[in-house]
A and B are shown apart, each in its own frame.
Chain A
Amino acid sequence: MCVMDGRGRRRLFSALIALMAIGSVNWTLFSLPFTNLGELRATVAQVPDRAAPAYPHFLEGVRARTPAGATIAIAVPRPYAYYRASYFLTGRTLVPLSNAKDADYVAQWPMPSGSPELNVVWRGYGGVLAKRTR
Chain B
Amino acid sequence: MIAALITIALLTAAGLPFARALHPDARASARTGEAFFIGCAWIPIAMFALSLLHIRWSLTSILVSALIPALAAFAIRRTSPATSPKTTLTIIDLVTALLIVLYGIYTTLGMWELDFWAIFGMKARAFFDHGGIDWHLLTSPFNAFMNPDYPLALPLLFDVHAIVNGAWDHRWIGLLYPAFTIALVLVTRPLIEKESNSPLIVSAMTLTIAALSFTRTAGTAEAPLVAISAAALLLLRRGILDDDTRAIRTASILLGVAAFMKNEGIAMVAAAFVAVLVTTRSWRRAAALWPAAACAASWIAVVRLFHLKSQFLQLQATHLRELPAMARALASNPPEHGFFWVVALITIVVAFREAKRESLLGTFIVVQLLLYVATYLATSLPVVWQIDQSWTRLLSHVAIPLAFVAFASAVHERK
A: which residues have CB within 8 A of B?
1-2, 9-10, 12-14, 16-26, 29-30, 32-33, 37, 40-41, 44-45, 47-48, 68, 79, 82-84, 86-87, 90-91, 93-96, 99
Contacts and interface: CB of A to CB of B under 8 A. Distances in A.
Contacts of B340: 20, 23-24
7 contacts: A17-B201, A17-B205, A19-B339, A20-B208, A24-B212, A41-B109, A45-B110
Contacts of A44: 109-110, 112
Contact of A93 (B136, B216, B346): B136
A28 to B, nearest CB: 9
Interface stretch (B140-148, B260-268, B286-294): B140-148
Contacts of A87: 117-118, 121-122, 125
A10 B338 CA distance: 24
Nearest to A25: B211
Contacts of B349: 1
B122 A90 contact: yes
**Contact-residue size bin, chain B (C-beta under 8 Å from the other chain):** 35 or more
Contacts of A41: 109-110
A26 B410 contact: no
Given A30-B102, A86-B143, 14 more contacts: A9-B414, A16-B410, A18-B204, A20-B407, A21-B205, A21-B211, A48-B114, A68-B129, A82-B145, A86-B146, A87-B125, A91-B130, A93-B137, A94-B142
Interface of B: 92, 99, 102-103, 105-106, 109-110, 112, 114, 117-118, 121-122, 125-126, 128-130, 136-137, 140, 142-143, 145-146, 198, 201, 204-205, 207-208, 211-212, 214, 216, 337-344, 346-347, 349-353, 399, 403, 406-407, 410-411, 413-414
A45 B128 CA distance: 22
The SS class assigned to the A binding surface is: helix
A32 B102 CA distance: 7
B158 to A, nearest CB: 12
A64 B338 CA distance: 47
B205 A79 contact: no
